[in-house]
Each structure stands twice: as structure tokens, then as C-alpha cells.
Amino acid sequence: MTNWSLEKILSSVHNDIERRLAAVRETFAHPTTKGDASEQVWLELFQRYLPRRYQAERAHVVDSNGVFSDQIDVVIFDRQYSPFIFDFESQKIVAAESVYAVFEAKQTATAVYVAAAQDKVQSVRRLHRTSLPIPHAGGTYPPKPVPPILGGLLTFESDWNPPLGESLRAALDGGYGERRLDIGCIAAHGVFSCDTSGCSTAIAKPKAAIAFLLELIARLQESATVPMIDVRAYAKWLVS
């Protein structure tokens, strides 16, 4: 009989994330340094545990019309079928068609940070995405509809009391359409979830980070594969 415990394994993943986020908050005094360190904790979680078809980076997103998003703390994008647009000295730019999800990462949840996350998500969702017919042995499949891009907020703590109460819900309900936050994690307290009818779920979970990770993977699975990108649409920006 094995002595392994799945409960303990999953708990250890959450405990590591919560401990590292707490250490960032206690150790770093400079707000920018603290913010960068918090982002890195979440990025490393995704880079380590998401399936290999996905990649997570801090990046800008660009479309074939040359429109750029804001800088996004965490972009989860396809690396199996989509090219990088630019990758140099830690500055990454990815094609809009490759994006599955985008997140703002902060130390704490506040109304200001929720609104900032909504703005960041909107800056990505408003971008144009191409989709080409897909060739196969018997001909071609029609272009795949572009999937919705997930958006959310990742924090360690919440400035509200209770952390997942009506104040959080009211702030989340302020974003709709392209500004909606679909899912998020307040690692010390729980997770939240929204849909087109509103933000009806904010659940206190003792192991919020791992609960969020598993829910995110499930939602990425539902998104299936990104559309076939029209690479030539980007090539039009080449000049002699």
C-alpha cells in the first residue's frame, strides 16, 4: 500500500504559493518590486503546472492591424500552433489569436485594482483576431470561431471585510462585456467566478490557489484549441 496522499500533495502546492506571496508582502518595501515579485509567483505556478500546450508570460498582445494591448501581468497563450511576434530582453509580444486568458496580479484586492484588471482585460479582448479555414485530408474545415478570452485578477489578500463579500461583488459587477472578469483568486481566502449574468460566486476555500489552478485548467480545456492564425496578415507590416 502506498503512503502517498493526494490531499497532502495538492495542499502543499497551495501552501507554497500562499507562503511565497506572504513573503513578498513582508519582505519587499518598494511597491514596484513587490508587484513584480507577486507576478513572478503566479507565473511560475502556471509555467510549472499548466499543460505544455500553454505558456504563461508577462507580455503585450498585438493584433494584425497593429493595435497593442496594455502590458499584461499574466498572459496564457498557445505555443503549439502560434508564433511569438517578439521576444527580446524579457519583453514579449504575442499574437492576439494565441491568447487563452489574461490576468492582472496584485498583492491585494481593492476596487481600484479590480477596475484596473477590467481595463487590462478589455485592452486584449478588443483586439482583432483572424481565423483561417483549416485544411485536412478531405478538403478544408470552415474557419473556427474565435473563443472567448478569459480574464481575471490574482491577489494574495483582500482589503475588504469580509474578503469575499458584497464589496468585492459590487466591484466585479462594475465590469461587463469586454471588461468582465471571469475568474480570480484571493489566495489567502478563496476564489470568485463571474458570467454574463453577473458575479454570483465568491467561495471561501482553505486551499484557494490550487482550487483556482484546477478550475482554470478546466476552463482552458473547454476553450479547446485557438483558431488557425492568418500569419500573412501580420506580414503586411514588413517594409523594405
Tell me the catalytic residues.
73, 104, 106
- Report the residue count for the chain: 240
Instruction: Show Cβ contacts of residue 77 under 8 Å, excluding neighbours closer than 6 positions.
Output: 54, 55, 56, 57, 59, 94, 98, 99, 100
Q: Where are the beta strands (DSSP E) in 172-240?
A: 183-186, 190-195, 198-204
Q: How far apart are CA 223 and CA 174, in angstroms?
A: 25
Contact 112, 124 (CB under 8 A): no
Q: How far apart are CA 175 and CA 183, in angstroms?
A: 12
